[in-house]
Amino acid sequence: MKRLWRSMPLRLALLLVVLFATVSLLSLAASYAYSRSAFEQSIRDDLAQDMAGFRAAPSARAVSILVQAESNETDPGRLVLSYVTPSGQIYGNGAVARDDEGFHIISLEAGRAELEGQYLALSERLYGGRLTIARSRAEIEALRPVFLNILWISLLPTVLIALSGGFILARRSQRHVEVIRRALEHLTGGDLSARVQSGPRWSDDLARIGSAVNGMAQAQERSVAALRQVSSDIAHDLKTPVQRVSVRLEALAEMVEPGEAADLVVQTRAEVSGISATFASLLQLAQVENGALKAQFAPVDLALLCRTMVEVYEPSAAEKEQRLSVSGAEAGLVSGQKTLLSQMIANLLENAMRHTPPGAAIDVSVVQEGAYVILEVRDDGPGIPPAEYDRVTQRLYRLEQSRHTPGNGLGLSLVDGVARLHGAVLSFGDAEPGLCVRVRFAAA
């Protein structure tokens, strides 16, 4: 919902609602002001017409009779007539009084009550007396609630309809954007076969973006596939000659007498074995990245697998005076290929053992956090600088301090490839001191 409220369609709908409301308010305010002015002018015209009629009377007596006659048939709440003769006698249905608060109209009926409401009045001296005609402003004041009702009746449904339309468009747009986001997430995670599946109800701009993403993914997939094929072909083609060299060096070692030549042969055999291991890792990495092994996925108890691998590597750790331990859940089921997961754990253990000094502690843990199973390998060695976290999974990349230790720079690349194949997330952290490698799997 938070993303929905911040989406562009809903923001545009809100902007249109604000714009429409502003225009409606200004339009109704102008209409109200015009109507109010027109009503007021109409009342003033009526007052002037009434005054002209009384002015036609020939005498004060005639004015008094006309005022009294019309007052008897007129509601003082609508029209007030008052004529004060030269002698001070008042004729009509009201009298105008004045005090510190202003003018007031008093009824001439029994009780002399003050008339409520506001009036527009016209007063003129006539035949020595004073004639006052006042018309009520009730019609003008009644315009306010009428226009307020018009405002609510016209504005509220429009706002609700616009917001509902914006909400529906935002939901639809969010679904389409989510399709693009998931495709990009899969592409970023290494699944270059991911594509944006657009539909007929997509807007043209989102459809064009989806098409551009698909074109980019297709080009990247072709480029990466070609690169992987080249590296696999090189590793495959050179694997057999390297093995032949290794066999011949073994035969040569049996023929050479002990001495410098024999030592040189042994060193060469070690180098050739390293080259052969590098080619084997490259081929295995190509097999993992191919994705065909997903067909062999089955539920695997990751906790049990970790305990087994720790038992396998405990003798090697003991030889280096390193402490290897396992902790965590009794069971952590994930969907995966058992052999590849074993290889991933083995690479993590070998990496930790290789780069930590004697006496170091290495701990493997498996914990379940909600819908995820977390595998962690911690050590108290020198660790990896945070700036190198994104680079250590690159093929053949080695840290400067690791260049004098055994290895080919493919161990963490294979770990990353296995994690991606299983839809897991590989991350690194500071164990304070040492390195913490974390692999988050979706629980089976």
3-state secondary structure of 188: helix
Co-location of 61 and 78 in the same domain: yes
Confirm if 330 and 301 have CB atoms less than 8 A apart.
no
d(CA 135, CA 39): 12
Residues belonging to the chain: 444
**Distance of CA 300 to CAs 17, 268, 438, 442, Å?**
55, 41, 18, 12
Co-location of 301 and 195 in the same domain: no
Co-location of 265 and 328 in the same domain: no
Strand partners, 428: 437
Domain finish residue from 244, 274, 290: 290
Co-location of 116 and 237 in the same domain: no
Q: Which residues of 372-384 are buried (b: 16+ CB within 10 A; e: fewer)?
A: ebbbbbbbbbbbb
- Please name which of 275, 346, 267 lies closest in space to residue 312, comparing C-alpha atoms: 346
Co-location of 63 and 110 in the same domain: yes
179 in any annotated domain: no
3-state secondary structure of 299: strand
Res 408: pLDDT: 52
Co-location of 209 and 301 in the same domain: no
Q: What percent of the chain is helix, strand and coil (3-state, nearest 5)?
A: 55, 20, 25
Res 198: pLDDT: 80
Domain, as residue range, for 117: 11-143
Domain finish residue from 272, 290, 308: 290
- Please name which of 397, 294, 285 lies closest in space to residue 351, comparing C-alpha atoms: 397
2 in any annotated domain: no
- Looking at the structure of the chain, the number of domains it has is 3
- Report the helix count and the strand count for the chain, using DSSP H and E: 10, 13
Domain finish residue from 121, 143, 165: 143
Co-location of 36 and 119 in the same domain: yes
> What are the phi and psi torsion angles at 111 (to 5°)?
100, -20
Pairing of strands 361-369, 323-328: parallel
Co-location of 136 and 231 in the same domain: no
- Please name which of 19, 32, 31 lies closest in space to residue 158, comparing C-alpha atoms: 19
| pLDDT mean by block of 10 residues, the chain; 444 residues | 64 76 85 88 90 88 88 83 87 78 72 74 89 87 84 79 74 77 77 78 79 84 68 64 74 74 75 66 61 74 88 87 81 83 87 85 87 88 78 63 52 81 85 86 85
Long-range contacts of 66-74 (CB under 8 A, 24+ apart): 67/91, 67/92, 67/131, 68/92
163 in any annotated domain: no
Residue type for position 287: Q
172 in any annotated domain: no
Co-location of 285 and 392 in the same domain: no
**Distance of CA 20 to CAs 13, 25, 156, Å?**
10, 8, 11
Predicted TM-score of the model (pTM): 0.46
Token representation of residue 205: 């701009």
Token representation of residue 82: 């008052």
What count of other Cβ atoms lies within 10 Å of the Cβ of residue 300?
Answer: 23
Q: Return the CATH number at 401.
A: 3.30.565.10
Res 404: pLDDT: 46
Pairing of strands 79-84, 90-92: antiparallel
158 in any annotated domain: no
Token representation of residue 106: 């008093």
